[in-house]
């Protein structure tokens, strides 16, 4: 069936709450209001206030209560309005949820899912950041960042059934994207598995979350110019499945990482290191990165556009890698 990304996430929540009575939702405005992005709309009426709980505006309290509930045997799905608001709760997530299984010699598990939103437009410097890489740095946390409705559905269900804490990152601009979702309540998409979104022979484009759409659009432009790009969707940042990336690079000999976060110390930096460590001899040129500008996100629309990676930049990077920059004719977009 065809669903939007938002509907796919809601469907996954409903299916898992129907399947397992231990699953419950809590967060700011998730009940009567239906969530800031309307993902939990209607769930309060369906499951009642015991399983869909509005909370006070305290992210640290929400994460602490969620961690305690998970250690007590429940399966909480916590919604944090945006990934920017995880900063006040970082200690609960990083020094609490991510570590308890290790610090107590495996006696406790923390099956906690933290749903949150990255990206966005016209939200300025403190509300539209892509901070997922901060959390992907932390052992003990799993970080998922799906790019399609089918993956959002299958990966969220896998996250809810996972024994470890999972940060589930939903890009704000993906909520209205439509796509086919399997009509099977037991269909899961495993965490930590990259996938090939488009096969190609000339260059490897690696992306995650909404940047996958950017990479696919660039691949279409490149195809019109006779360059076949292979697009790899990471889907999870931790665990990071670099296998399909390395396999692709050994075939194409060229790699460009496309990401909305900042280039310095970003996901592309980690991927570049992995490729250099494990597939250096296959490379025909440097690994390039197309990422956000190294500035806090501006509010003005024209400046915001300049700060975000664009299709033309991806095509430009590929053209320079292939020594064909002079052959590329830019089209107005």
Helix, coil or strand: residue 71: helix
**Catalytic status, residue 28:** no
Q: Phi, psi at residue 75, to the nearest 5°?
A: -125, 75
Query: What whole-number distance in Å separates Cα of residue 146 and Cα of residue 235?
Result: 5
Which residue from 111, 300, 317, 306 is spatially nearest to 227, judged by alpha carbons? 317
Local structure of 94: helix, strand or coil: helix
Active site residue 127: yes
SS (H, E, C) 141-160: CEEECCCCHHHHHHHHHHHH
Contact predicate 15/43, CB 8 Å: no
The one catalytic residue among 15, 59, 230, 259: 59
CA distance 184 to 73: 26
Reference 31, options 12, 17, 50, 8; nearest CA is: 50
User: Among 127, 247, 304, 312, which one carries the catalytic annotation?
Assistant: 127
Catalytic residues: 59, 127
């Amino acid at each position: 069936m065809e669903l939007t990304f938002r509907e796919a996430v809601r469907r996954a929540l409903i299916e898992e709450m129907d399947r397992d009575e231990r699953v419950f939702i809590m967060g700011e405005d998730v009940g009567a209001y239906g969530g800031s992005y309307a993902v939990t709309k209607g769930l309060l009426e369906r499951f009642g206030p015991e399983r869909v709980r509005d909370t006070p505006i305290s992210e640290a309290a929400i994460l602490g209560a969620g961690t305690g509930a998970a250690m007590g045997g429940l399966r909480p799905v916590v919604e944090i309005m945006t990934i920017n608001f995880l900063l006040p709760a970082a200690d609960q997530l990083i020094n609490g949820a991510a570590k308890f299984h290790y610090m107590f010699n495996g006696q406790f598990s923390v099956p906690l899912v933290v749903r949150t939103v990255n990206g966005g437009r016209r939200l300025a410097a403190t509300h539209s950041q892509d901070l997922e890489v901060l959390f992907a740095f932390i052992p003990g946390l799993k970080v998922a960042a799906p790019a399609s409705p089918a993956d959002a559905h299958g990966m969220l269900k896998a996250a809810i059934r996972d024994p470890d804490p999972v940060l589930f990152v939903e890009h704000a601009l993906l909520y209205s994207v439509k796509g086919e979702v399997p009509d099977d309540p037991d269909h899961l998409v495993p965490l930590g598995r990259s996938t090939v979104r488009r096969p190609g022979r000339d260059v490897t484009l690696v992306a995650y979350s909404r940047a996958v759409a950017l990479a696919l659009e660039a691949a279409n432009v490149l195809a019109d110019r006779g360059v076949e790009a292979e697009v790899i969707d990471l889907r999870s940042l931790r665990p990071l499945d670099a296998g399909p990336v390395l396999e692709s690079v050994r075939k194409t000999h060229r790699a460009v990482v496309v990401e909305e976060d900042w280039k310095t110390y970003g996901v592309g930096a980690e991927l570049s290191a992995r490729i250099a460590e494990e597939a250096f001899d296959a490379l025909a040129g440097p690994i390039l990165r197309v990422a956000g500008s190294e500035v806090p996100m501006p509010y003005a629309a024209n400046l915001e556009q300049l700060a975000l990676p664009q299709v033309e930049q991806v095509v430009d990077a590929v053209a320079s890698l292939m020594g064909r920059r002079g052959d590329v004719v830019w089209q107005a977009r």
